[in-house]
Structure 1
Amino acid sequence: MFTRRHLLRGAAASGAYAGAASLLPAWAQSVHGGQSMQKQPPALTGPAFDLSVGHANVMIGGRNGHAVTVNGSLPAPLIRFREGERVTLHVHNTLDEDTSIHWHGLLVPFYMDGVPGVSFPGIKPGETFTYEFAVPQNGTYWYHSHSGLQEQSGLYGPIIIDPAGADPVSYDREYVLVLSDWLFEHPHKVYAKLKKNNEVFNMQERTLGDFISDASEKGLGKTIEDRAMWGNMRMSATDIADVTGAAYTYLINGHSTDDNWTALFETGERIRLRIINAAAMTIFNFRIPGLPMTVVQADGLHVQPVDTDEIQIGVAETYDVIIEPNRPRPFAIVAEAIDRFGQAVATLSPRPDMRATAPLLRERPILTHKDMAMDHGSMAQNMTGMEHGDHAMTKQAHSHKMGVGVDMVAEMPTNRLNEPGLGLENVPHRALRYTQLKSTVQNPDLRAPEREIEIHLTGNMERFMWGFDGVKFSAIEKPITLYEGERVRFTLVNDTMMTHPIHLHGMFFELNTEESDHRPRKHTVNVKPGEKLSFDVTADHVGDWAFHCHLLFHMHAGMMQVVSVLPKSEGRPSSNMDHEGHDIHPSAPHNAHKHEGH
């Protein structure tokens, strides 16, 4: 039978593939597809917008696929605001299921935040919801669905908010780079596969050759002991990413490496790249071999310039960098998956007919005992509930639910903010560390935290179960409660061997990189395996706010909570009581307490 699928394939084969470029918004189309060189990317500008969520057929790397899109394009249209203006966005749902749009990183009223079941009911099929809010900030942000797994199917797009006054960053040209991961298979089918076998997409398991190599380097006894330990845990040292290049096609601005998305430059220009990791499940290592980058913005907020060569960008993080190509040759723009089983490569070139050589994938990273946050051989004690060890660790073991949803507890978590990220520890060039980020302006609230809330990131990797404090979102009985105006320290302990990008809606937080009044302010932070880190929050935004891992399938499995900021009028506990009315140990720093989360 001659089907529409055959027609599309035939059209691509006959050279009509260029017509598929119409599915991409103008800013995402490659310059060699007929687009003129633009100093600024074309965008939807306000103050009023009409956005239609619906189904679309897309062509990626010569293959036909199905997407959920905004205004029929993948990625969704670039939306450009100006700081201080009031905008209205009419979102029309043409799907046969509920949808939503969350304005990631924007400080909007909570009922405009776009999280079904938390801040609003969602948008029913055939209905229109109008978002309306003032824009109190500037920088690089993005938007995406918060309904089901629609984000994985293509419902994501960039936001640029121009400053009301002069931009402190000078540049001659800018490009938006939206990094993402694409599935030709339905995301719910992929999720079902992970529930049955969490390693179904791990094609980089260690081999006999690896064993021989390790034995030669470390000794036979230590190698056998190491392999036995991993076997007893029923875990893999190469289990870095749940969904890998075995299933994913990695994209830059909706283009695969084969498509060769191309950005043009003139030698000597200062080019601003606005990099957004809009992937569902992929942490990317971003670099342009042979071309250094200067980081000028992180998560939409300005930072003191930092020179680097590579950045590990967590899902939902954004970075603005300045590059200055000084040679008239093509450069490869590389977004390599954290497990190095796939990448997306684009071209930065002085001419549209040039193509950069894609670098080879680098050697896969291997998890170590540091990623387990324990000494060699201590797993048995850990798995029995941490009966051995100091008082703090014993208290930790009983501070959150143990059971089928928790397969390990970090015995000795450490602060890893000064590390560039898994696999980048020994690269021969500079790799960005959170400790290098410093705000260009003084932090707005210099008060010490009044109390501390400790939250454990937990999971059972074998059963693909994820949660906070051993509890999935559907079983949460009460939110994390803050009170308007108070200063709170959040301490996150990663009890798993995976990196989790944790995102707080509605508020920026100061990352505890050092004792300083210029700490970086972010809305998303990568929490490395076995890591314990802290950030401070001023509860200045009343409402109910989602707080979750931004790995979409982890959130879908339950790694989510709600932070509820109550207004001053509702009162707050006395200084020696926590938010649930319990006494706080008088010796705890900043009246620290442990949030039970269930």
Structure 2
Amino acid sequence: MDRRTILAGLAGTGLGGVLPNLARARTAMNGMMPGMAAAAMGAPATALSGDLIELVIDQATVRVGGRSGHAITVNGTTPGPMIRLREGQQVCLRVHNRLAEDTSIHWHGLLVPFQFDGVPGISYPGVAPGQSFDHVFTVRQAGTYWYHGHSGMQEAMGLFGPIVIDPAVPAIPAAREHVIMLHDWTDVHPHVLLKRLKQQGGFYNRQQQTLAGLLAGRDQTLGERLEWGRMRMDPTDIADVTGSTYTYCMNGHDSAANWTGAFVPGEAVRLRVINAAAMTNFNLRLPGMPMRVVAADGQDVVPIDTDEFQIGIAETYDVMVQPKSAQPIAIIAEAIDRSGQCRATLAPLGAPAGTAAPIPPLRARPLLTMRDMGMGAMDMTGMDMAAGTLDLSAPMPAPGQGGHAMHGGHGGMKMRDKSLAPPGLRLGPGVATLSAAPADRLADRPTGLEDVDHRVLTYADLKAAVPRPQAPPTRSLDVHLTANMERYMWSFDGVKLSENPAPLAFRAGERVRVTLINDTMMPHPIHIHGHFFDLVNGAGEAAPRKHTVNVLPGGKASFDLTADAVGDWAFHCHMLLHMHAGMFRVVTVREQAA
């Protein structure tokens, strides 16, 4: 047994469950292995700043939601400490590795030289056990960002923390600000999560439809259910790992621990919201309190008022709120499938310790629709093959029986006919469906929020605070997000990373329109390293700049990318298990030969 296995065993039996904040020496006296410390769940209040910032990656046991588990920590906590920088400064971020395995940290959303981007196997070898690595660069931006591990699945085990960068020219600050870091936590090792999903794609889904739901009219009609059954698709398959296993947290606190931030009635409060989850997109709202969105992915936007927004994994949003009365206010982060949620509290300054806002009941779980299959609101009955999701997992017909149809037996195209695949997409066992009529869904309310009775932010609402004239793209590139969800296989263009696909190649300085086409029935937050892109959302020169876009099921999203950073960069889905299973490519940017 290796050291990790022993540590995981200790955590699973509860032998590693010691109280937070005990000294390392006390922990060792309790019979734990060297290096196995107790960790505080929740980053310390003091931010790290200056020209040299040292981060120590280690292992520890944390206890959340009544369960103890093995964690990867930064400076003894998870989330790790906040790093506070200033635009224009030069900084050295020194990472020390006290683990028994390689590690790394990626500075998510920061524009850095590729050799300091922190992705082993692409930009550097990683940080070996007992070694240190200096990331030295000039800070080129301001805003809300974060850092996380990029080795194995250490990120899911607690290796992440927030970054706040103040502008070079000081802006008028909010009276008060709080970082709200959302994440999911389980004592189940991420490799075990992946193994179980490989064995059964719906292993963690405890919200599937029932006969009682059919009779009560809460779920699909019998006809709809029969059609979806013939397609071998589940309209409740919205999140791979759910609240049946995850405890949802804000700043390291679950609802019972109740993270609390102060406010003064009448003063504006800035909330820097970061989704650092491994597998969970969240819906965020403050019941009864409007929010004003002022930044997305660290970039200022024209302020837009909303009551709720969905934040994809790896995205950040800055919002302003202005409480009027001295009543506690709930911050609610709800999992996209509504299998669980987390409550934090904004409390009036000077309120008694333990002040907590009420926790609203979970809302009814959503169901996927025909639009999530790339069909819009069309009726499937008698549908022609050219107008819907193509089921490539169906067997080929016997000779003389005609072609297979879309899922339910309509139409006449051969499902394994490679002419169905657009250029650059490889059909195989890892591609079970194609969205034959994907729609631009940037103006759609995101999954599960289609019918709520209040304002919901969409990508079409976002406009850059300062418009930027840009040259038009000189070429276009389509990238398909592909999967066999039953077998838990994920890829780009039908090819997973382990199959060593060729990099997506760009010439330095060229501008390319990239269109992401989601051939699956699950949203995917797609992130590119080393660059920002202009989201093509109808805003023209005011297109918002982002580094991550959540592509809705059966839909597509386009962005214009100026390849202005020479080097090799990661490009991947930020759902950690999807990335680990193969939804990952390398983007290479090279100077054009003379």
Give the alignment's TM-score, normalised by structure 2.
0.87
Q: Which residue of 2 aligns with 1:94?
A: 98
Change (3 A) 1:329 1:380: closer
> 1:112-511 counterparts in 2 under 5 A?
112-167=116-171, 170-214=173-217, 223-350=221-348, 351=351, 352-374=353-375, 375=378, 376-377=380-381, 378=383, 382-383=391-392, 384=404, 388=413, 396-397=421-422, 399-443=424-468, 446-511=470-535
1:340, 1:363 within 8 Å by CA — same for their partners in 2? yes
Q: Distance in 1 between matches of 2:554 and 2:464?
A: 27
Runs of 4+ in structure 1 deviating by more than 6 angstroms, as ranges, are 3-12
Amino acid in the other structure paired with 1:286: L
DSSP 3-state at the match of 1:258: coil
User: Are residues 353 and 86 of structure 1, via their aligned partners in 2, closer, same or farther at CA, if it must alter by over 3 Å?
Assistant: same
Q: Go from structure 1 to structure 2 and tell me whether the alpha carbon gap of 1:7 and 1:544 turns closer, same or farther (over 3 Å shift).
A: closer
**In structure 2, C-alpha distance between the alignment counterparts of 1:397 and 1:327, rounded to whole Å:** 57
**1:426 CA drift (Å):** 1.1
Secondary structure in 2 aligned to 1:191?
helix
The SS at the match of 2:197 is: helix
Secondary structure in structure 1 of the residue aligned to 2:78: coil
Residue 369 of structure 1 and its aligned partner are, at CA, apart by 0.9
Report the Cα offset of residue 382 of structure 1: 4.4
- Would you say 1:534 and 2:558 are equivalent positions? yes
Q: Secondary structure at the match of 2:486?
A: coil
- Counterpart position of 2:585: 561
Once residues 63 and 18 of structure 2 are traced to their aligned partners in structure 1, the CA distance between those partners, rounded to angstroms, is 12
- CA distance in structure 1 between the partners assigned to 2:231 and 2:132 by the alignment: 50
Which aligned pairs between 1:511-530 and structure 2 lie closer than 5 A?
A: 511-530=535-554
8 Å contact from structure 1 (residues 388, 394) kept in 2: no
Contact 2:250 2:344 in 1 (8 A): yes
Spell out, residue by residue over 1:364-413, the C-alpha distance to the aligned partner (whole angstroms, 9 max, x if none): 11011110013425568543598759xxx966546411111011000211
CA contact (8 A) 2:38 2:61 kept: no
Q: 1:262 to 1:459 in 2, by over 3 A?
A: same
Distance 2:187 2:253 in 1: 14
Quick one: percent identity of the two aligned structures? 52
The 2-side partners of 1:247 and 1:557 are apart by 20
C-alpha distance in structure 1 between counterparts of 2:312 and 2:471, whole Å: 29
CA distance in 1, matches of 2:497, 2:161: 26
Could you give the per-residue CA deviations for residues 255-282 of structure 1, whole angstroms, max 9, x where no partner exists? Answer: 1111111111110111000000000000
- Any idea what the Cα deviations from partners look like across 1:105-150, whole Å, max 9, x if unmatched? 0000011101111111111111111111110100000000001110
SS in 2 for 1:257: coil
Name the structure 1 match of 2:43.
Answer: 25
Aligned to 1:84: 88
Check whether the contact 1:83–1:135 (CA below 8 A) recurs between aligned residues: yes
Is the contact made by 1:275 and 1:319 (CA closer than 8 Å) also made in structure 2?
A: yes
1:33-79 CA-partner distances (Å, limit 9, x unpaired): xxxxxxxxx20002101111110121223432220011111101100
Q: Relative to total residues, which structure has the larger helix share, 1 or 2? A: 1
Q: Secondary structure at the match of 2:155?
A: helix
Specify the alignment match of 2:29 in structure 1. none
How has the CA–CA distance of structure 1 residues 257 and 20 changed in structure 2, closer, same or farther, with 3 Å as cutoff?
Answer: farther
Contact 2:479 2:492 in 1 (8 A): yes
CA distance change for structure 1 residues 463 and 328 in 2, over 3 Å: closer, same or farther?
same
Q: Which amino acid in structure 1 is aligned with residue 357 of structure 2?
A: A
Q: Unmatched 5+ residue regions in structure 2?
A: 1-9, 21-36, 393-403, 407-411
Shift of 1:191: 1.0
* 1:133–1:286 Cα change, 3 Å: same
1:578 corresponds to: none
1:476: how far off? Answer: 3.2
Checking the alignment, whether the CA contact within 8 Å between 2:182 and 2:275 is kept in structure 1 is yes
CA contact (8 A) 1:20 1:59 kept: no
Deviation at 1:234, TM superposition (A): 2.0
Matched, 1:72 2:67: no
The one-letter code sitting in structure 2 at the alignment partner of 1:364 is R
Measured in 1, the distance between the counterparts of 2:93 and 2:501 equals 34
TM-score by length of 1: 0.86
Aligned 8 A contact 1:487 1:536 in 2: yes
CA RMSD of the aligned region, Å? 2.3
Cα separation, 2, equivalents of 1:380 and 1:269: 50
Give distance in 2, aligned partners of 1:182 and 1:6: 16
How many positions carry a matched residue from both structures? Answer: 538
- The unaligned stretches of length 5 or more in structure 1 are 13-18, 28-41, 572-598
From the superposition, tell whether residues 190 and 477 of structure 1 become closer, same or farther in structure 2 (CA, over 3 Å).
closer
- Does the CA-based 8 Å contact 1:381-1:388 persist in structure 2? no
Which residue of 1 is the match for residue 49 of structure 2?
Answer: 45
1:214-233 CA deviation, whole Å, 9 max, x = no partner? Answer: 49x98xxxx33322222222
The letter of the residue matching 2:247 is T
- Which residue number corresponds to residue 34 of structure 1? none
> CA, structure 1 residues 286+165, in 2 after alignment: closer, same or farther (shift >3 Å)?
same
Contact 2:389 2:434 in 1 (8 A): no
* Matched letter for residue 107 of structure 2: W
